[in-house]
Amino acid sequence: MTITRFAPAPTGRLHVGNIRTALHNWMLARKAGGKFLLRIDDTDAARSKEEYVEAIREDLAWLGIETDMEERQSLRLERYDAAFEILKAAGRIYPAYETQQELELKRKVLLGRGLPPIYDRGALKLSDEERAAKEAEGVAPHWRFKLDHDEPIEWEDGVRGKQKFDASQLSDPVIRRADSSWLYMLPSTVDDIEMGVTQVLRGEDHVSNTAVQIQMFTALYAAQFSAASGGANELPKFAHEALLVGREGKLSKRLGSLGCDAFRERGIEPEAIIALLARLGTSLPVEPIASRETLLETFDLSTFGRAPAKFDDADLDRINTAIVHQLGFADVSDRLPEGMGEEAWHAIRPNLETVGGAHDYWRIVTGPIELPDFSDEDRAYLSEAAAALEWNDNPWGALTSKLKDSTGRKGKALFLPLRQALTGQNHGPDMGDLLPVLGEEVARRRLERASDS
């Protein structure tokens, strides 16, 4: 059973980059008939907020990214403690006492010598006396995971292909702070094991974390942690997608602030976001595809490119407009103006950029409308139109062909005064579709009023 997860930290709203990761994980799970897990990474108690947890749930629901399960790291702290004790007993976790300043200095020295700033394992070199002295001074240690320099780190990445790391070129990661709070690395690994995650798909900023986490997985398997917990004991598949960048090619601040609320306010449909993000950065064409089945059929990690995916608001607007033109009445009825029915939706829909725009067009129907100054000639023409109006299943076609014959008018002279008299506008929905929505009585009244104006 495929299990994927989306693991946001509830320290802010979801932005377009997170939405993309969530979507792709959801698609992987749906396509495989598996499960999609929402994991709230809220070990950072100071920065995590309940309102963001709720916003994340709401945003996913609005996007139609249904979660099959939800977990919260803050409710699982004893599991991380258990893993910590097991790894410590296995000699894979060690205490370190350096201050932030000392570590910074070590980094600078290495960088100054042109060397990679890899942690020198100074804490491992402390004698028992030195360690006891630190403890006696009241220095609480932070904790590092000891990488095995002899264990090769390799995986076949679902997007990037074969990945290899040399553990000796990585720093032993700090996994727990001196106040015993958790950093991301170990809890995430514990969860992936215990929640049976089979596929980890995340941004390429996590590639080096994966290298480290692979050793955490294998250390936990070796220590029988997974057997004890009943979790997985086979590494998940890893895939790292290229990051999302703004049109200008950078990870702009604006991109990070583009969340569901901003999209919703702008009249962007969830299906437009889904259609764009499902394929952005892949070799498949980005098209206004409103059907998730269609998107799922073609979804395939092997189509994902290595180059950063460019997010352009103009693409989103274009797709949104095309999606709005496909929406059925049932999809939008609760967002339409009071009284606006299916016929009106179909008449107005081709003119809309957003569903919200229907409110402006509906005012054309409900009135009052503002008339332009008609010439005497046009007024006479409109009076003739009012008399010629006949109601059948194509009143506009009947009216205009009658007037064409009787007046000899054609083109703009034939149509524009009628449109103006009936809607108060020079442009707008197809009159053949709109006239039945106006109804006979309103149409006749408007033509008569314009002819008297």
Binding site for ligand GLU (CB under 6 A): 7-9, 41, 184, 188, 202, 206
Residues 41 and 53: their CA atoms lie apart, in Å, by: 10
Residues 38 and 63: their CA atoms lie apart, in Å, by: 14
Least CB distance to ligand GLU at residue 91 (A): 26
Comparing CB distances to ligand GLU, the nearer of 185 and 369 is: 185
Comparing CB distances to ligand GLU, the nearer of 9 and 243 is: 9
Comparing CB distances to ligand GLU, the nearer of 5 and 30 is: 5
Say if CB 320 and CB 269 are below 8 A apart: yes
Comparing CB distances to ligand GLU, the nearer of 118 and 185 is: 185
Q: Which DSSP string corresponds to 318-387?
A: HHHHHHHTT--HHHHGGGSPTT--HHHHHHHGGG-SSGGGHHHHHHHHH---------HHHHHHHHHHHH
Comparing CB distances to ligand GLU, the nearer of 172 and 241 is: 241
Least CB distance to ligand GLU at residue 224 (A): 24
Residues 6+ apart with CB under 8 A from 197: 3, 4, 5, 37, 191, 232, 236
CA neighbours closer than 13 Å in the CB half-sphere of residue 28: 27
Least CB distance to ligand GLU at residue 163 (A): 16
Comparing CB distances to ligand GLU, the nearer of 5 and 446 is: 5
Comparing CB distances to ligand GLU, the nearer of 171 and 188 is: 188
Cα dihedral value 26, 28, 29, 30, nearest 10? 80
Least CB distance to ligand GLU at residue 432 (A): 52
Least CB distance to ligand GLU at residue 39 (A): 8
Comparing CB distances to ligand GLU, the nearer of 41 and 98 is: 41
Residues 115 and 124: their CA atoms lie apart, in Å, by: 21
Residues 199 and 416: their CA atoms lie apart, in Å, by: 60
Extract the tokens encoding 3: 């299990």
Residue number closest to ligand GLU, CB atom: 41
Say if CB 250 and CB 212 are below 8 A apart: no
Least CB distance to ligand GLU at residue 201 (A): 8
Least CB distance to ligand GLU at residue 200 (A): 6
Q: What are phi and psi of 421, to 5 degrees?
A: -65, -35
Cis peptide before 368 (omega within 30 of 0): yes
Least CB distance to ligand GLU at residue 279 (A): 21
Residues 6+ apart with CB under 8 A from 55: 13, 14, 261
